[in-house]
Structures are given as C-alpha cells and as structure tokens.
C-alpha cells in the first residue's frame, strides 16, 4: 500500500519493523545511518519515515531537518531515551510522532496507520472484533467481555489475550510473546510473560469461561484452547 523508509542502525530492530510492515502490505526501505537515509529518501520518495534518533554519520534530528526542507512526508521518530526535551526537539523540527524504546512492533504499526490515514494513503480499517462462546474482544477499544460483562484488563493483558485467542490452539512460547508484544529491546525476561498470564487467567476464570481457556503447555508456553468442533469468529 505504501513505501516506508526505516532508518535505524540496529539491524535487528530494522528487520522486525520491515517484517511487520510487509505483513501490513507495505514496502520497507532500510537505511543503516543518517546519510543513507537521506539518499534513499531522495531515491524512493517514501510515504512515511520511521527514523531512529541515535544513528552514525547523521543523527535523526539532522535527517528530519533535511527532510523538512523539501517534504511534508510523515516522520515518526524512535529513540531509546525518553527525556521530554528530546521529544520537544523532535516535534519542533517537524516530526509527526515520537516513540520511545522498548516498543511493541504492533504499536509502531498502529502509529504508521494513523499517519498514513491522515495523509489519505489508507482507508479506515474494519473494526477488529473476536467472538468465541461467551468471550468478546474489541481490540480497537481495548475491551473484553465475558458473558456480556466487562472484564477489566490492562493494555498488555488484552494484547496477550488477543494474540492467543485469534490463533486458537496454537502454542506460543514465552519468547514468542515477549518478542511480539514487548519488542526485542525489552530488558525483562520470560517471567514477565508468566506474571501477566497469571493475572489474565485469574480475571478470566473469575468471569467464567465457556468452551475456551488459556492453557499452559509445560516447558513450552501457552495457548488459547477451544473445544473440538468449535470455531471462533473474528470480525
């Protein structure tokens, strides 16, 4: 749908963003430093830019200033430092959004969709709703209901539930969940996943399940298990 320039000298992060952008139907162009980013910007005329602040040769602030001399293309800046003055500087020189590491790749994709919508590049997406038995998840609203009653979940708990439930009976390792929902730059360990699952499961069990459960696969991870011959619905 769109061409996105990803400028980040951390190859692993750039590869993750490239993978997620491709899943969204976009073309990703990767730059490893500021000078390469400006060269590729001139060559490819991207629809949006994901721009790391700390890069060799030219930093993200310098790249953003150069881009703003000739273009109003959306720029989302990414940094490992969350100081207010850096955010203010980035926004003052023309960045459209600012993301602090560690980040969830899904959050970055949501920010990309938002800036592209504002530029008229993409149509509004259909609402993401999952229904199975007495469980309803509305991802856009970050709401979950069991038996028609709201279940108070944190943002991360709901993202875990959505990831598991929309892939019924698929086993996710703790590393899978940590990578996809917390991102590669997260400095915690897999016990973070376990603690979130424990709280999530307690809330769901208290609300009452019907034909489904989050099951532990010992030594591997977790899955959203449904009864045989029942198929969840995803709108």
Q: What is the pLDDT of residues 59-72, one digit of tens each?
A: 999 999 999 999 99
Q: Which residue positions in the chain have pLDDT lower than 70?
A: 82-83, 121-127, 184-188, 228-235
In the prediction, which pLDDT does 50 show?
A: 97
Q: What is the pLDDT of residues 21-40, one digit of tens each?
A: 998 889 999 999 999 999 99
Tokens of 115: 């800036």
pTM (2 decimals)? 0.55
In the prediction, which pLDDT does 82 show?
A: 63
Give me the architecture of the 129-234 domain, per CATH: Orthogonal Bundle (1.10)
Burial class (CB in 10 A: 0-12, 13-18, 19+), 225: middle
| Dihedral sign of CA atoms 176, 179, 180, 181 in order | positive
Tokens of 119: 């530029």
Inter-residue contact 150 to 207 (CB < 8 Å): no
Q: Going by CATH, does the domain composed of 3-118 fall within 3.40.50.2300?
A: yes
Tokens of 229: 């011959």
Q: How far apart are CA 27 and CA 180, in angstroms?
A: 20
Same fold, 3-118 and 129-234: no
The domain segmentation of the chain, as residue ranges, is 3-118, 129-234
In the prediction, which pLDDT does 172 show?
A: 94
């Amino acid at each position: 749908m769109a061409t996105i320039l990803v400028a980040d000298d951390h190859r692993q992060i750039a590869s993750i963003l490239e993978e997620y952008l491709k899943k969204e139907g976009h073309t990703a162009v990767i730059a490893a430093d500021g000078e390469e980013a400006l060269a590729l910007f001139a060559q490819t005329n991207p629809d949006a830019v994901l721009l790391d602040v700390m890069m060799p040769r030219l930093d993200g602030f310098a790249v953003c200033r150069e881009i703003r001399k000739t273009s109003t293309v959306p720029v989302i800046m990414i940094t490992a430092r969350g100081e207010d003055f850096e955010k203010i500087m980035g926004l003052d020189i023309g960045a459209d959004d600012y993301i602090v590491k560690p980040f969830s790749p899904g959050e970055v994709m949501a920010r990309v969709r938002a800036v592209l919508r504002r530029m008229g590049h993409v149509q509004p997406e259909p609402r993401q709703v999952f229904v199975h038995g007495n469980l309803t998840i509305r991802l856009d609203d970050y709401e979950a209901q069991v038996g028609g009653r709201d279940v108070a979940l944190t943002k991360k708990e709901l993202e875990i539930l959505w990831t598991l439930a929309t892939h019924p009976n698929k086993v996710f390792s703790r590393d899978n969940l940590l990578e996809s929902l917390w991102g590669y730059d997260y400095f915690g360990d897999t016990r973070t996943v376990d603690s979130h699952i424990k709280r999530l499961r307690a809330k769901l069990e208290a609300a009452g399940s019907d034909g489904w459960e989050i099951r532990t696969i010992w030594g591997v991870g977790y899955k959203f298990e449904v009864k045989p011959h029942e198929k969840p619905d995803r709108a």
